[in-house]
Structure 1
Amino acid sequence: MASIFTEIIKGEIPSYKIAEDDRYYAFLDIRPLAKGHTLVVPKQEVDYLFDVEDDLLGGAMIFAKRVAKALESVIDCKRVGVMVIGTEVPHAHIHLIPFQKEAQIDITRKPIEMSSEAMEALAAEVRAKVAL
């Protein structure tokens, strides 16, 4: 059975897409810890990040870097944090979380509230800044 991320990549479930190429897909997390919280996933469905083939894993970090730079250009943040937990969805993924304070990247925090209109506007603004 396909993971929810595979369904998002295929367009079967809507998402706030940030960037896409032939191997990776980036989209806003619908339960963001901070404004701009983005997930980067390889299109190839592999459960555990450290089981992803080396070239795909390295490419994911390069793709994530481009997305992070776009996030930094749109969101007032100290940095974009990177987190890999990998237990909530059986599909390797990287969290990119813009933050002012490290407490904003605490995975146990309550997600922030953003309207679908605000999420779509943010996705469009960041998408326009991604250099692929």
Structure 2
Amino acid sequence: MPTIFTRIIDGELPGTFVWRDDRAVAFMSINPIARGHVLVVPVAEIDHWLDAAPELAAHLFEVSRIIGLAQQAAFDVERIGVIVAGYEVPHTHVHVIPTRSMADLSFANAASSVDRADLAAAADAIRAALRAAGHDAVAE
């Protein structure tokens, strides 16, 4: 049975994408810890990030770095945090989160819901920063 992330990647469920290439996608979290919280996910269903091939793991973290730079430009934050927990969905994913303090990295702060307009506006800001940096894998 496909994971919820595979269903989002395949278009069966809605997702607000900011990045898409042949190995990875990045889309907005629907339970964001902070404004602009993005999930970087491999297209292939891999449960535990340690099971990813080294080349794929490197690609996921490079995409996470690129997304983080875009978030930093879009939201004027001091740092970008990364969390790889893997308990919520059995499909590897990297949480890339704009932060102002260590407290911003707590899942206890996750929103139970988010306004779709706010999600779209944050995604637009990230996409604009990605385009300004010259990236061509920006998702529409």
Percent identical among aligned pairs is: 36
- Paired with 1:20 and 1:69, the residues of 2 have a C-alpha distance of 16
**What TM-score, normalized to structure 2?**
0.89
Which runs of 5 or more residues in structure 1 are unaligned?
none
1:15 aligned to 2:15? yes
1:36 and 1:122 in contact (8 A); partners too: yes
Cα RMSD for the two superposed structures: 1.3
1:17 and 1:28 in contact (8 A); partners too: yes
**What TM-score, normalized to structure 1?**
0.94
* Number of residue-to-residue matches in the alignment: 132
- Alpha-carbon displacement from aligned partner over 1:87-131 (angstroms, at most 9, x marks no partner): 110000000010101101112334276411111121122112222
- Paired with 1:109 and 1:121, the residues of 2 have a C-alpha distance of 20
| CA drift at 1:4 | 0.4
- Paired with 1:124 and 1:107, the residues of 2 have a C-alpha distance of 24
**SS in structure 1 opposite 2:41?**
strand
| Gap change, CA 1:110 and 1:57, over 3 Å in 2 | closer
1:56 aligned to 2:63? no
Which runs of 5 or more residues in structure 2 are unaligned?
none
1:102 aligned to 2:102? yes
Match for residue 76 of structure 1?
76
| CA drift at 1:76 | 2.2
1:34 and 1:112 in contact (8 A); partners too: no
After the TM superposition, which segments of 4 or more aligned residues of structure 1 sit over 6 Å from their partners? none
1:24 and 1:42 in contact (8 A); partners too: yes
1:19 and 1:26 in contact (8 A); partners too: yes
